[in-house]
Chains A and B, each alone.
Chain A
Amino acid sequence: MMENSRRSFLKIAGVTAAGLGLKPVTDVLASGGHQTKSSPIGDVSKGKDVLTAKRWAMVIDVKKMAHDGTVHKCIEACHKLHNVPKMTNKRHEIKWIWEEEFHHAFPGKHHEHIAEAIEHAPFLVLCNHCENPPCVRACPTKATFQREDGIVLMDFHRCIGCRFCMAACPYGSRSFNFRDPRPFIEETQENFPTRMKGVVEKCNFCAERLAVGKQPACVEASDGALIFGDLDDENSDVRKVLKSDYVIRRKPGLGTGPQIYYKV
């Protein structure tokens, strides 16, 4: 008796599972391949002031950067705006943009007789928003992804905290929330999300500011030392600088295509 009822249970369970599995398949077929999923928050369209580009990039004018206090202003502007916490334990440090010496920013390029101006100049380093980002290649959930305009973004809700992207980044641009960051945020800005423990974060090229027509925070605070714009637009400021001045990029030989250019 047990045999029969177990068997019939399995039969019914199997048919049910097949039936349930049929719906998504018929949905796709019925829609003719066009996904017409409606968004739960209604239609999302671009704002009227949004800044668009085919390829965002930034030029850092190192000589202008060396002016007193500019570096500090850029870093503070970014970290304050994005609720980047000031962790007390250096191991748990979170930084989106920070200052390095030349031989740390460009480890392959250093030599003994480097120009004094370069040797002591502050170099701002941040995520390079690479054309060919190895972090995006590595991420198993697409929690870090490249937007059409080139910006490499993070979805803090999808990130499983595996930190594979941190291993993949050749520039050390990424930080991990080793503990809840919220107690360590000096002054929480309500218009930008705070993150939870266990997720990775990094510079987002101020995508939220671009969306409302503003320049990135560090660019605004830099007094002209940082130039931001669309590489695809011949008349953009970045293209003008690149046309007239020689620039270097970090670890160009790796093929990542970094989009932060340093005018030395």
Chain B
Amino acid sequence: MLERALNGNKNYWAWLMVLMSIIGVAVVFYLYQLWFGLGVTGMSRDVSWGFYIAQFTFLVGVAASAVMLVLPYYLHNYKAFGKITVLGEFVAIAAVTMCLLFILADLGQPQRMLNVIFYATPHSMLFWDMIVLNGYLFLNVIVGWNALSAESKGVPPPKWIKPFIYISIPWAVSIHTVTAFLYCGLPGRGFWLTAVLAPRFLASAFAAGPALLILLCLLLRKLTRFDAGKEAIQMLSKIATYAIIINVFFFFCEVFVACYSQIPEHMDHLTYLFFGLHGKGALVPFMWLSMILMFTGIFMLLIPKVRTNESSLAVACVAIFIGTWIDKGLGMISGGFVPNPLHHVNEYIPTIPEIMITIGVYAIGMLVLTVLYKMAISVKEEAAGLS
């Protein structure tokens, strides 16, 4: 079935070439990082996690959002999603692949990564993160591949994948919960030490993921003969609407708890992010932009006329995606580390090599997604032609 990804027009191959050149450049930067050490990044003794882990945190959410298609379709027989569940599962595969690559890129001694298996440590959340991420990748590969393969043969999917499908639903929730547990169980980090972190992660995931899926479906309609269907896209947009509202509500709860209790340990991180602290405030414009984007997205999605018009829907989805990306991909990590446990303010700003490697990993994800989507669309166009 993979051979279907080899039949493409000029634009398809040009796109793949662009992606592969970007990846090539990123590999060179990564080799530089391997040789020099993680000092090529903007990370420091105080902000010891940066862009790589932030992207991993954001993409775990995007991966988990495949469940927003699987749950309604397989558990509640919502037929409109039947056409696109595979597309959601393929997004999950691309996203989890990027997660694993970002974790790898962030390791100081990547060649020792198997130590997490050899010296398995169940009381460490990173151990469970490794398990749930790889398990989720495995689940989506098995389910997505077999469902698509069955569709290409014109038969219903084999009965044995049903348990895998059912497991993938709580498993999707678990990947983001475990990732949140990396942060919210650390006693010294007041910004992360909140029970609402896992729910908030899930809410922003269920906004960003469907937003991405909508954009991908609209793109597919432009580039191919595949049409996800207006009902599916509209239902996804409704899911994204409620999810982003809940995410912003959870954030507002966090702001209230910190700012009404006025406990410095909790307030200082928000102050740093939104107003700056001790003269340092590199993230301030980004955080406000994120708020503006998320509120704009909510406002647009709440108006039915705007939501049903697919051009304005696309704009809303871009706003939601970028807004949640800034929230998780920029604010979450720096906010937790600044100020440091001794109340010093040392900022983090990513460096060029770090950004290039990040773009490279995103390019790998896009490559995986392109190839899988090419395969899926080829199967679906054929199946539609036959029926």
Contact = CB atoms under 8 A, between A and B. Distances in A.
24 contacts: A91-B44, A92-B45, A104-B342, A107-B265, A107-B343, A138-B126, A140-B116, A140-B127, A141-B118, A158-B115, A160-B109, A161-B38, A162-B103, A163-B108, A166-B48, A167-B337, A169-B188, A169-B341, A170-B186, A170-B187, A172-B340, A179-B36, A197-B108, A199-B109
B48 A167 contact: yes
Interface string B335-373: 011001111101000000000000000000000000000
B119 A158 contact: yes
Contacts of B115: 140-141, 143, 158, 160
Contacts of A138: 124-126, 186
Contacts of A178: 37-39, 43-44
A142 interface: yes
Given A125-B342, A138-B125, A176-B108, 15 more contacts: A89-B39, A92-B44, A92-B45, A105-B342, A107-B265, A141-B116, A141-B118, A143-B115, A160-B108, A162-B107, A162-B108, A166-B48, A172-B340, A178-B38, A179-B38
B123 interface: yes
A160 B113 contact: yes
Interface residues of B, number: 46
B108 A158 contact: no
A141 B119 contact: yes
Contacts, number: 153
Contacts of A164: 124-126, 182
Contact of A104 (B108, B126, B189, B344): B344
Nearest to A173: B341
B77 interface: no
B112 interface: yes
The CB with the most chain B CB atoms within 10 A, among A134, A140, A170, A175, is that of A140
Interface string B160-185: 00000000000000000000001100
Interface stretch (A14-22, A38-46, A238-246, A250-258): A250-258
A264 interface: no
Interface in B90-106: 103, 106
B38 A254 contact: no
A93 interface: yes
Interface in A126-185: 134, 137-143, 158-164, 166-172, 175-180
Contacts of A175: 45
Task: Report whether over half of chain B's contact residues are helix, strand or loop; otherwise say mixed.
Answer: loop
B262 interface: no
A170 B112 contact: no
A208 interface: no
Contacts of A107: 264-265, 341-343
A198 B188 contact: no
B46 interface: yes
Contacts of B295: none
A251 to B, nearest CB: 7
Enumerate the 10 nearest inter-chain pairs by beta-carbon distance, A residue then B residue, closest first. A161-B108, A170-B188, A198-B108, A178-B39, A91-B44, A197-B37, A140-B126, A179-B37, A179-B39, A140-B124
A27 interface: no
A163 B49 contact: yes
A100 interface: yes
A57 B265 CA distance: 27
Interface string B313-350: 00000000000000000000000110011111010000
Interface string A79-118: 0000000000111111100001001110110000000000
Interface in B104-154: 106-110, 112-113, 115-116, 118-119, 121, 123-127, 130
A139 B124 contact: yes
Contacts of A167: 48-49, 183, 186, 189, 336-337
A137 B125 CA distance: 9
B221 to A, nearest CB: 42
A214 B303 CA distance: 74
Contacts of A162: 103, 106-108, 126
